[in-house]
Amino acid sequence: MSEPQVIREIGPLRQRLDAVRMRQQSIALVPTMGALHAGHAELLRVARENADYVVASIFVNPLQFDRTEDLDSYPRTLDADLRVCAAHGVDLVFAPSAAEFYPVEPLTFVESPVLSRHLCGAFRPGHFRGMATVVLKLFNVTQPHLACFGEKDAQQLAIIRRMVTDFNLPLEILPVATVREADGLALSSRNKHLSPEERAVAPVLARALKEARASIDAGETDCSMLKAAATKAFDAEPLVRVEYFEIVDPETLSPLDRVADAALLAGAIWLGRTRLIDNVTWRSSKAIT
Amino acid sequence: MSEPQVIREIGPLRQRLDAVRMRQQSIALVPTMGALHAGHAELLRVARENADYVVASIFVNPLQFDRTEDLDSYPRTLDADLRVCAAHGVDLVFAPSAAEFYPVEPLTFVESPVLSRHLCGAFRPGHFRGMATVVLKLFNVTQPHLACFGEKDAQQLAIIRRMVTDFNLPLEILPVATVREADGLALSSRNKHLSPEERAVAPVLARALKEARASIDAGETDCSMLKAAATKAFDAEPLVRVEYFEIVDPETLSPLDRVADAALLAGAIWLGRTRLIDNVTWRSSKAIT
Q: Give the start-to-end residue ranges of the domains of chain B.
A: 5-176, 189-279
Inter-chain CB proximity B137 and A162 less than 8 Å: no
Strands A274-283 and A262-271 turn out to be: antiparallel
Asked if residue B108 lies in contact with residue B23, where contact means CB atoms within 8 angstroms, the answer is no
User: Out of B40, B88, B118, B127, which one is annotated catalytic?
Assistant: B40
Looking at beta carbons, which residues of chain B come within 8 Å of A137? 166-168
pLDDT at residue A267 in the model = 98
Active-site residue, B118 included: no
pLDDT in tens, B32-87: 999 999 999 999 999 999 999 999 999 999 998 877 767 888 888 999 999 999 99
The end-to-end CA distance of chain B, in Å, is 38
CA dist B230 and A81 (Å) reads: 61
Q: What integer is the mean pLDDT of B256-267?
A: 98
Instruction: Tell me which CATH homologous superfamily contains domain A189-280.
Output: Pantoate-beta-alanine ligase, C-terminal domain (3.30.1300.10)
Active site residues of A: 40
- Check if the beta carbon of residue A4 is closer than 8 Å to that of residue A92: yes
Q: Distance between CA atoms of A60 and A78, rounded to whole angstroms?
A: 11
Confidence of residue A69 (pLDDT cuts 50, 70, 90): low
Burial A185-214 (b: 16+ CB within 10 A, else e): bbbbbbbebbeeebbebbbbbbbbbeebbe
Which of A120, A199, A180, A190 lies closest to A153, judged by CA? Answer: A120
Strand-pairing partners, residue A282, are A263
Give me the amino acid identity at B32.
T
Closest CA to B106 of A164, A153, A156: A164
User: Is residue A214 a contact partner of residue A222, using CB atoms and an 8 Å limit?
Assistant: no
Which residues of A are less than 8 Å from B169 in CB distance? 140
SS3 of residue B219 by DSSP? coil
What angle do helix axes A204-217 and A223-235 make, rounded to 10 degrees?
A: 150
Nearest CA in chain B to A251: B107
Residue B289 scores a pLDDT above 60: no
Distance CA A174, CA A29 (A): 10
Which amino acid is residue B114, in one-letter code? V
Interface of A with B (CB under 8 A): 10, 14, 104, 106-115, 129, 132-133, 136-137, 140-141, 143, 159, 162-163, 165-170, 252
ipTM of the complex: 0.95
Identify from B17, B129, B164, B166 which residue to disrupt to test chain A contact, counting A C-beta atoms within 10 A and taking the largest count. Answer: B166
Query: Tens of pLDDT along A86-137?
Result: 999 999 999 999 999 999 999 999 999 999 999 999 999 999 999 999 999 9
Q: What is the CATH number of domain A5-176?
A: 3.40.50.620
Best residue of A57, A100, A161, A166 to probe chain B, by most B CBs closer than 10 Å: A166
Q: How far is A22 from chain B (nearest CA, A)?
A: 9
What is the pTM (predicted TM-score) of this model? 0.96
Query: Which CATH number applies to B189-279: 1.10.760.10, 3.10.20.30, 3.40.50.2000, 3.30.1300.10?
Result: 3.30.1300.10
Closest to B107 (Cβ–Cβ): which among A137, A162, A170?
A162
| Contact present, A99 and A234 (Cβ < 8 Å) | no
